[in-house]
Amino acid sequence: AQRLAGKNILITGASTGIGYHTAKYFAEAAKGDLKLVLAARRKEKLEALKADLLKDYPSIKVHIDVLDVSKVNTIAPFLKSLPEEFAIVDVLVNNAGKALGLDAIGSVDSADVEEMFETNVLGMIQLTQLVVKQMKERNSGDIVQLGSVAGRNPYPGGGIYCATKAALRSFTHVLREELINTHIRVIEIEPGNVATEEFSLVRFKGDQSKAEKVYENTTPLYGSDIAELILFAVSRPANTVIAETLVFATNQASAYHIYRGS
């Protein structure tokens, strides 16, 4: 908690899933001695989360703002509009991301291709470029990248999503290389199957039964499990960087292999 004291944490995709739980875990660990910038597309969800956080930790400072990272040219104005006390980002959590469909290459809707690349890659790159600039000036900061097992084990039907996460992984490695002579830490978290409220629902465009099948007969990871890891990584001492973390549910061994009781 001491290591987080007073820090300003910017989380994208903060209204739900891993981002939402990360906001809660940081608030709890810092006992409210923290600043959170929570960005997502849905304002009502952010407002509810902010109210919740303030109820539990009256001393916490929370700034919420609507941001759709896929609209890349809105990212600079979003950063510029941060109130002064939130303007310096100590920890950037690049969490916003999505998978759409499981279509074979040749049949992937081109709007889906664009949406996945704009969200997972172009938006993430733009935000990182802008934030790393200020981190370099101060020679401090943490950048947490939400990768995926999909970036290491590409699977049939994941032609685009896996490519976005491989791109994130490559970009992240370059960033760590380039920042080698700084105090900035680059942390990549690569979850396997995580049952968040919406990941699979979004992938299957609202088809509840398809979404539920992903986690059927397994005990998956939950958003809170990944939030706990992000918190752990960020709260290591300054001489330690959790550079990569491939993390599975106990009954998963690769993107292709999940034990479902048979």
Residues that bind ligand 8X3 (CB under 6 A): 99, 148-150, 158, 192-193, 255
Beta carbons within 10 angstroms of residue 29's beta carbon: 18
85 vs 216, beta carbon nearer ligand 8X3: 216
256 is catalytic: no
Query: Which amino acid, one-letter code, is at 199?
Result: F
7 vs 165, beta carbon nearer ligand 8X3: 165
Residue 247: closest CA among 199, 201, 188, 196: 188
User: How far apart are CB 148 and ligand 8X3 at their closest, in Å?
Assistant: 3
Burial of 173 (0-12, 13-18, 19+ CB in 10 A): middle
Catalytic residue among 35, 165, 215, 222: 165
22 vs 193, beta carbon nearer ligand 8X3: 193
User: How far apart are CB 150 and ligand 8X3 at their closest, in Å?
Assistant: 3
Q: Helix 17-29 to helix 223-234 angle, to the nearest 10 degrees?
A: 50
Task: Give 204's contacts (C-beta < 8 A, 6+ positions apart).
Answer: 101, 210, 211
67 vs 99, beta carbon nearer ligand 8X3: 99
Task: Give 254's contacts (C-beta < 8 A, 6+ positions apart).
Answer: 149, 153
Catalytic residue among 25, 161, 215, 222: 161
165 is catalytic: yes
User: How far apart are CB 128 and ligand 8X3 at their closest, in Å?
Assistant: 19
User: How far apart are CB 161 and ligand 8X3 at their closest, in Å?
Assistant: 6
User: If you ran DSSP here, which 8-state letter would residue 118 be given?
Assistant: I
Catalytic site residues?
A: 161, 165
